[in-house]
Amino acid sequence: MQSFQDSIFRLKQYWAERGCIIQEPYDVEVGAGTMCPETFLRVLGPDPYRVAYVQPSRRPADGRYGDNPNRLFKHSQFQVILKPSPDDIIEQYLGSLEAIGIDLKAHDIKFEEDNWEAPTLGAWGIGWQVMLDGLEISQFTYFQQCGGIDLDAVPAELTYGLERLTAFLQARDSVYEIEWAKGFSYGDVRYRDELQYSVYNFEMADIKTLWKLFDLHEGEATRLLAAYDPKSPVKKRFPLLPTYDHVLKCSNLFNTLDARGAISVTERVGVIQRVRKMAVGVAQAWADQSRVEAAAEVAE
Amino acid sequence: MSLPFLLEIGTEEVPDWMIKNALEDLRARFVALGIPHESVQVDATPRRLVLRASGLVERQADSEELVFGPSEGAPEQAVEGFARKHGVSRSDLGLRSKSRGQSDSVSGSGGQSHSRSGSGGQSHSVSGSAGQSHSTSGSQYYSFTRRVAGRTTAEILAAALPGIVLGIYFPKTMYWTGKNGPRFIRPIRWLVALLGEEVAPFEVGGVRSGGVSSGHRRLGAAEVPVTCADYEQRLRDNCVILSADERRARIVAGLAGAKVDPVLLDTLVYLTEYPTAIEGSFDPAFLELPAEVLVTVMRHHQRYFSVEDAEGKLLPRFFAVMNIGSDPEGFVRRGNERVLRARFTDARFFWDSDQKKKLADRRKDLAAVTFQAKLGSYRDKAKRMKTLVKELGGKPAAVRAADLCKCDLTTELVKEFPELQGVLGGLYARAQGEREDVWQAIYDHYKPVSMEDSIPRNAAGRVVALADKLDTLRGCFRVGLIPTGSRDPFALRRAAQGVVKILVEGKMELPLLDLLEGNAELTAFFQERVKFYFKDARGFQYDEVNAAMAAGWSNLADLDARLVRIQGLRTSPDFEPLAASFKRIRNILEQAKYEGAAAAIREDLLEEEPEKELYREYRSIAGQPIESVISRLRPKVDLFFDKVLVNAPLEEVRQNRLQLLYELRREFSKVADFSEIVTTS
């Protein structure tokens, strides 16, 4: 049987062969692979980039104490960015499914319209959800805008839901029953995460503390953004990546507070705006900083 | 020679619901080119938009144009110079006057013709002969006729096709080659453009047109050379069925016993290139869940057809439609069954966990659900609705339903299936022991969702549904969220239509106008909706609706009853003449600016016999329904207008006559303002 990790190995191998850098998961908590700097910042500007990585993605509100066979607080996305997107991108994508052992002549694949939008990131794209025998296994998006910026080169983002895909390959009804590695089920590895984070996110997270943390991270990100000077000769030293980490912290705290039921109607829109403002600020500074680097390279 | 034309725009998967409109737009843009043709046909699958035409000429007809030179009196050198410049001999020049629009030196047309005159035929007659009716003046000019060769159709197509392709309207487009690149619904990956055997060459977004199509993504070849003649067959050989009707027939043929939902069927027709239906089943234990939930999962989320028995009871079976030809190993069936099992398990999980907190205990949670930024939360809305339900005379069951009806918005199952809000609230209320009229009112309170949909089944539901819609309308209009043109993001037209339908069909005697907070815009909005309802949904004539509404439209149940009466009256031979008389009365009163007097009609001032007769008739029939008196009234009115001059010389008499007409009109305008009736005479 092809284990959870076998599928990951094969996907990494497949995309590495197609010119992708294989990254490891980002080490700050995120809600989706899209939010990692490897996607959010790298899609900006005209430079080509190809990267693939697994990203554990945290959705506090989706936690179910490990009771629900299909819902997870933390699921694993396999994320691929191809910038600019090659003309045969869909063929390459279908090839990746065949590489993990799916015979597409004997299975039903459909591309159903599903456009993606992330208000907190000022980002949206056009694309599909990919259905395999009625199961949504991937999100396929042509990015159009990120951080409020129209993208120069159009990247294709492929996101595979690894748990679902593996459950499909192993014909399991519950995520917890899938084989992660020989002798270890997904439940063996992740059940405690699901239970304990559900308890924390829904019951025990201290709302005041979370708000305090939110304010601290927001303050730090805002302070840094205000200090970024586009005219500075040494602006390429400026720590935009650490700034962005604070934005990600805010995003995750917002999600946790939301799951905790701590964000009222009137607050909600406002908090999304606050996160968006920081994310857009980082994206614009990053685009500016990259332009200088590109210009400097040309000069050299 | 007559040629066929084939255009195939090869794309990545186009959203199914956009395809039909895109095809019609493509057809219209081709026809607008004005290239003569015998027939044109459009087809599509998710990956190709196709236009095929027949009977195109190879070359557009030659045409002739007049070239004008110097005027009649010009020096000879100028005339010869003109001839030399254009390479014609002096003797070829003739004198002609210019017709309107020929002020430039060149007239006539070099463009394509719209007539089917055949190659070499003359498309435009040259309007060169002097003394035509168009000529503007007597002055004449030296001129000659030049023959212009028609462009080849291939040239015209090559020049026009990029604009036609990129001009096709889609609700949302993207760019894919980079910023400032072309925009289309999805990336264009290949283009076939054949005129006869030749390629009509053009390029869009780096893709050049050619003669090579593409088959089914996995069952066909990636590259499929085609000709105009074998195109459809070559696609079929590569597992692509071009005809939507044929795909539809293929699907339906595999749906034995299923309930064929036409909307779902259409979706699947445009989601597939090679559709085949397969049957699956699920554990009958799931039938304990409400059928509403099961059907929603199957139809809306999984795009399956559900199956019912003869009594309409859901069976544990379904049909899925796949985009391949067969499933000999049962992979696809088992995959779909597993997905459905997971979906149903989820639904059951949510159904069970939602039950742990009663609807009544969820009321305060609604404070965290936004209704609209300026209009507060659903908790605010629910409170307003409760007050409104009481104002509308709702019984305790309706008040209870209003109190609970929005609480399902906080349940997991509604978050999962937003389209089931209301319905699930009703089901939860039933499961939690609410009275039947209460849970049914909650279940139905979004109804009617369309003109065809029925109104809530019980009185409590009708009051709650009214309160919900009225609250939305009043709030939105108050804060300026008013629909404009096609923009109606809060579906206010549907809400207002729902209010009208409930008031009329529920026979609710409520004063609608008093419920609109004196908002003039909202009143005008409702007036349109009321007219629309009675005209378009109920089929009354527009003048009947105008006439009845002119006599008041606040009580819609009453308006409905009056309209039915007018329709009955219309069959009477006296109706139209009487309506014409009422129009005359209205005109007389308007001209005299007469708006009624406090004093009663003075019998002593009635002079002539017809006038007295009309008065006596009016006195004797006042208060009786118009149906029973119309035949008596009409001759008296006719006689009055025949014999009596309203504008009597004596002011007192004149005023008295005006008062008689005024009272007559008022008396018989309670059902309708008959002067609004359009009469044929």
ipTM: 0.94
Please give the Cα distance from B422 to B449 (Å, whole number): 12
Instruction: Report the residue of chain A nearest B340, measured CA to CA.
Output: A134
Q: What is the mean pLDDT of residues B112-133?
A: 37
Please give the Cα distance from B145 to B126 (Å, whole number): 8
User: What are the domain boundaries of chain B?
Assistant: 2-58+155-237, 63-151, 244-354, 396-415+435-559, 572-676
**A56, A76 Cβ separation under 8 angstroms:** yes
User: Rounded to a whole number, what is the largest CA-CA distance in chain B?
Assistant: 108
Q: Which residues of A touch B376 (CB under 8 A)?
A: 265
For A154, which of B178, B320, B332 is closest by C-beta distance?
B178
- Look at residue B107 and tell me whether its pLDDT is greater than 50: no
DSSP A133: T
- For chain B, the residue count is 681
Which residues, 6+ apart, have CB-to-CB distance to A245 below 8 Å? A28
- Predicted pLDDT of residue B628: 81
Peptide bond into A84 cis (omega under 30): yes
What class is the B572-676 domain? mainly alpha
- Predicted pLDDT of residue B118: 36
**CB-CB neighbours of B481 under 10 Å:** 17
**B143, B94 Cβ separation under 8 angstroms:** yes
**Which ranges of B238-393 does DSSP label H, i.e. alpha helix?**
244-253, 262-269, 291-296, 331-354, 378-391
Interchain CB distance below 8 Å, B175 and A133: no
Interchain CB distance below 8 Å, B178 and A84: yes
Q: What is the DSSP string of A75-124?
A: EEEEEEEEESPPTTHHHHHHHHHHHTT--TTTS-EEEEE--EEEGGGTEE
**Which ranges of chain A does DSSP label H, i.e. alpha helix?**
4-17, 37-40, 89-99, 162-170, 186-199, 207-227, 240-259, 265-299
B44-86: per-residue pLDDT in tens?
999 999 999 999 988 888 888 888 989 888 888 999 899 998 8
Q: Would you identify the CATH topology of the domain A206-299?
A: Methane Monooxygenase Hydroxylase; Chain G, domain 1 (1.20.58)
User: Is residue A70 within 8 angstroms of chain B, CB to CB?
Assistant: yes
- Looking at the DSSP bridge assignments, the partners of residue A184 are A181
User: Would the CA dihedral through A230, A231, A236, A237 be positive or negative?
Assistant: negative
Test the A interface: residue of B12, B238, B329 with most A CBs within 10 Å: B12
Q: What is the mean pLDDT of residues B391-413?
A: 94
Residues 28-67 of B with CB under 8 A from A: 46
User: Rounded to a whole number, what is the largest CA-CA distance in chain A?
Assistant: 59
Please give the Cα distance from B178 to B355 (Å, whole number): 51
- Look at residue B297 and tell me whether its pLDDT is greater than 80: yes
User: What are the domain boundaries of chain A?
Assistant: 4-200, 206-299
For B218, which of A87, A105, A112 is closest by C-beta distance?
A105
Please give the Cα distance from A162 to B445 (Å, whole number): 41
Please give the Cα distance from B35 to B57 (Å, whole number): 8
Interchain CB distance below 8 Å, A269 and B373: yes
- Predicted pLDDT of residue A283: 96
Give B28 to chain A, closest Cα distance, Å.
26
Question: Given the DSSP bridges, would you call strands A116-118 and A123-132 parallel, antiparallel or unpaired?
Answer: antiparallel
Q: Which residues of A touch B369 (CB under 8 A)?
A: 265
- For chain A, the residue count is 300
- Closest listed residue to residue B652, CA positions, set B597, B610, B614: B597
**CB-CB neighbours of B571 under 10 Å:** 7
- Look at residue B126 and tell me whether its pLDDT is greater than 50: no
**B545, B531 Cβ separation under 8 angstroms:** yes
Burial of B365 (0-12, 13-18, 19+ CB in 10 A): middle
pLDDT band at B409 (very low <50, low <70, confident <90, very high): very high
**CB-CB neighbours of B449 under 10 Å:** 13
Residue with tokens 């080849």: B152
Percent of chain B past pLDDT 70, that is, above it, reads 94
Angle (nearest 5°) at CA B549 between B546 and B553: 155
- Closest listed residue to residue B57, CA positions, set B2, B135, B127: B2
Burial of B599 (0-12, 13-18, 19+ CB in 10 A): exposed
- Predicted pLDDT of residue B293: 94
- Closest listed residue to residue B51, CA positions, set B3, B7, B4: B7
pLDDT band at B346 (very low <50, low <70, confident <90, very high): confident
Q: What is the mean pLDDT of residues B399-409?
A: 96
Test the A interface: residue of B268, B322, B329 with most A CBs within 10 Å: B322
Percent of chain A past pLDDT 90, that is, above it, reads 87
A167-195: per-residue pLDDT in tens?
999 999 899 999 999 999 999 999 999 99
Q: Which residues of B touch A91 (CB under 8 A)?
A: 222
Interchain CB distance below 8 Å, B340 and A153: no
- Rg value, chain A, Cα: 20
Residue of higher predicted confidence among B268 and B637: B268
DSSP A262: -
User: Is residue B329 within 8 angstroms of chain A, CB to CB?
Assistant: yes
**B672, B560 Cβ separation under 8 angstroms:** no
Give B321 to chain A, closest Cα distance, Å.
9
- Look at residue B295 and tell me whether its pLDDT is greater than 80: yes
Give A197 to chain B, closest Cα distance, Å.
19
- Predicted pLDDT of residue B371: 85
Residues 173-212 of B with CB under 8 A from A: 174-179, 181, 186-187, 189
- Predicted pLDDT of residue B645: 81
Test the A interface: residue of B179, B410, B413 with most A CBs within 10 Å: B179
Q: What is the mean pLDDT of residues A210-238?
A: 96
Q: Give the DSSP H/E element, type plus range, for residue B502.
A: helix B492-505
- Predicted pLDDT of residue B416: 86
Give B60 to chain A, closest Cα distance, Å.
37
Query: How far, in Å, are A36, A57, A200, A210, B383 from residue A213 at the CA level?
Result: 20, 20, 16, 5, 35
Task: Answer yes or no: same fold for A4-200 and A206-299.
Answer: no
Which residues, 6+ apart, have CB-to-CB distance to B408 below 8 Å? B359, B414, B421, B422, B424, B425, B428, B442
pLDDT band at A266 (very low <50, low <70, confident <90, very high): low
- Predicted pLDDT of residue B100: 60
A4-200 CATH pick, 3.30.590.20, 3.40.228.10, 3.30.930.10, 3.40.50.720:
3.30.930.10
Q: Taking the CA of residue B208 as centre, how many other CA atoms within 13 Å lie in the half-sphere pointing to its CB?
A: 3
- Rg value, chain B, Cα: 37
- Look at residue B120 and tell me whether its pLDDT is greater than 60: no
Cα B547 off chain centre by? 27
- Predicted pLDDT of residue B124: 36
User: Is residue A56 within 8 angstroms of chain B, CB to CB?
Assistant: no
> What pTM was computed for the model?
0.80
Interchain CB distance below 8 Å, B339 and A133: yes
Please give the Cα distance from B27 to B22 (Å, whole number): 9
CA dihedral defined by A118, A123, A125, A130, rounded to 10 degrees?
A: -40
- Predicted pLDDT of residue A98: 97
User: Is residue B346 within 8 angstroms of chain A, CB to CB?
Assistant: yes
Please give the Cα distance from A257 to A264 (Å, whole number): 10
Q: Which two tokens stand for residue B557?
A: 């149940």
User: Is residue A65 within 8 angstroms of chain B, CB to CB?
Assistant: no
Question: Given the DSSP bridges, would you call strands B48-57 and A74-83 parallel, antiparallel or unpaired?
Answer: unpaired
DSSP B61: P
- Look at residue B129 and tell me whether its pLDDT is greater than 50: no
Test the B interface: residue of A64, A71, A112, A113 with most B CBs within 10 Å: A113
Give A228 to chain B, closest Cα distance, Å.
27
Test the A interface: residue of B11, B13, B371 with most A CBs within 10 Å: B13
**A80, A15 Cβ separation under 8 angstroms:** yes
Indicate the SS3 state at residue A180.
strand
Give B389 to chain A, closest Cα distance, Å.
25
User: Is residue A273 within 8 angstroms of chain B, CB to CB?
Assistant: no
Please give the Cα distance from A77 to A82 (Å, whole number): 16
Report phi then psi at B219, rounded to 5.
-95, -10
- Look at residue A36 and tell me whether its pLDDT is greater than 90: yes
- Look at residue A295 and tell me whether its pLDDT is greater than 70: no
pLDDT band at A116 (very low <50, low <70, confident <90, very high): very high
